[in-house]
Amino acid sequence: MCLCRPPPGAAAPAAERAYAHVKELVLTDSLSGGTMVSEGDIAAQLSMSRTPVREAFLRLESEGWLRLYPKRGALVVPVAAGEAQSVVDARLLLEVHAVEALRHRDDRERLEERLRASIEQQRAALDRGDIDAYAEHDTEFHLTIVAAGGNPLLTSFYVTLRERQRRMVARSLWRDEGRARAFVTQHEHLAAAVGAGAVAEFKVALRRHLDHAHLPERAAAAVDAR
């Protein structure tokens, strides 16, 4: 996501507004993978000409979110086969490493406190029926864990995964509040393991949590095998 912002009180350029709008639709799964979208549709939604929308589409294509087809529109690129597994594996490594790095009890307790504050925000979002806000808080919950490890290089790498994570969370929830509340309960378990310094327990719980959230087929297979 672009970090450039217009000065306070200034309107964002039309192309930037179109870019942010379409990307938000993709990341929240309002435009699902495989969907075709036209410049005209977006221009009408934003009450602007097609020219800035075309610029936005080109930028989104360069980032891998859209695939352009002349005179037909743009295809929202689906999540690639194996991408979910790759992201889950990367997240597991980074988050477990961060918890392992917390050598002092005070550091673990401070992190647990921040995680529990995030959990309350997640619940509040679900109570008001805002799944998109929940997804944002979910992403921040896990980023907080990685950042607590104190390794800026790993945190920076994790940040590059945030958009992919956000899209995956939106897809995995399928607007299902019941599943989201189950994930909040799993977050509580993770927070408790952090506070207790129980790294092995945290790793097992995190793997289960990520599998349930992003790899439902694998999670179901694990249940059937028991």
Ramachandran angles phi, psi of 37, nearest 5°: -135, 145
Average pLDDT over residues 159-187: 81
Tell me, what's the pLDDT at 219?
Answer: 43
pLDDT band at 7 (very low <50, low <70, confident <90, very high): very low
Tokens of 60: 């989104």
Q: Say how far apart CA 85 and CA 83 lie, in whole Å.
A: 5
Tell me, what's the pLDDT at 175?
Answer: 64
CA dihedral (200, 155, 109, 125) positive or negative: negative
Tens of pLDDT along 106-143? 999 999 999 999 999 999 999 999 988 998 899 899 99
The helix/strand/coil state of 197 is coil
- pTM for the model: 0.71
Cβ partners under 8 Å of residue 72, min gap 6: 36, 38
Burial class (CB in 10 A: 0-12, 13-18, 19+), 165: buried
Burial class (CB in 10 A: 0-12, 13-18, 19+), 95: buried
pLDDT band at 8 (very low <50, low <70, confident <90, very high): very low
